Amino acid sequence: MQTELIGPHLRFSDLKPPPADFRREVVEGLRLPQKTLSPKFFYDAEGCRLFEAICDLPEYYLTRTEIGILTEHADDIARTLGQDRTLIELGSGNSRKVRLLLEALRPAVYIPVDIAREHLLAASRTLAADYPWLDIHAACLDYSERFEMPFLPDVQRKVIFFPGSSIGNFEPAEAENLLRGIAQCVQPNGGLLIGFDLKKDANILQAAYNDSAGVTAQFNLNLLRCINAKAAANFALDLFHHHAFYNEPQGRIEMHLCSESCQQVVVAGETFDFLDGESIHTENSYKYGIEEFRSLARNAGFEPGHCWCDRDGLFCVHYFAVSSG
Interface residues toward ligand AVJ, by CB under 6 A = 54, 62, 164-166, 168-169, 209, 216, 219, 283, 285
Q: From the CB of 168, what's the least distance to ligand AVJ, in Å?
A: 5
Nearer to ligand AVJ, 175 or 321 (CB): 175
Nearer to ligand AVJ, 112 or 164 (CB): 164
Neighbouring-strand partners of residue 288 = 198
Nearer to ligand AVJ, 63 or 86 (CB): 63
Q: From the CB of 165, what's the least distance to ligand AVJ, in Å?
A: 4
Residue type for position 82: G
Round to whole Å and give the CA distance between 77 and 247.
Answer: 33
Nearer to ligand AVJ, 269 or 313 (CB): 313
Task: Single out the residue of 310, 6, 302 nearest to residue 128, CA to CA.
Answer: 6
Nearer to ligand AVJ, 47 or 107 (CB): 47
Round to whole Å and give the CA distance between 153 and 151.
Answer: 6
Q: From the CB of 289, what's the least distance to ligand AVJ, in Å?
A: 17
Nearer to ligand AVJ, 12 or 219 (CB): 219
Nearer to ligand AVJ, 59 or 135 (CB): 59
Q: From the CB of 62, what's the least distance to ligand AVJ, in Å?
A: 6
Round to whole Å and give the CA distance between 216 and 63.
Answer: 14
* 233: DSSP letter: B
Q: From the CB of 211, what's the least distance to ligand AVJ, in Å?
A: 9
Q: From the CB of 66, what's the least distance to ligand AVJ, in Å?
A: 10
Q: From the CB of 285, what's the least distance to ligand AVJ, in Å?
A: 3
Task: Single out the residue of 24, 68, 16 nearest to residue 43, CA to CA.
Answer: 16
The kind and range of the H/E element at 204 are helix 202-208
Task: Report the residue number whose CB is nearest to ligand AVJ.
Answer: 285
Nearer to ligand AVJ, 66 or 278 (CB): 66
How many Cβ atoms sit within 10 Å of the Cβ of residue 255?
25
Residue type for position 63: T
Omega before 33 cis (within 30°)?
no
Nearer to ligand AVJ, 27 or 202 (CB): 202
Round to whole Å and give the CA distance between 142 and 299.
Answer: 23
CB 325 within 8 A of CB 315: no
DSSP 3-state of 316 = strand
Q: How far is CA 15 from CA 110, 115, 139, in A?
A: 17, 9, 7
Residue 103 phi/psi, 5-degree rounding, is -60, -45
Q: From the CB of 323, what's the least distance to ligand AVJ, in Å?
A: 27
Q: From the CB of 216, what's the least distance to ligand AVJ, in Å?
A: 5
HSE of 244, CA atoms in CB hemisphere, 13 A:
27
Round to whole Å and give the CA distance between 154 and 135.
Answer: 16
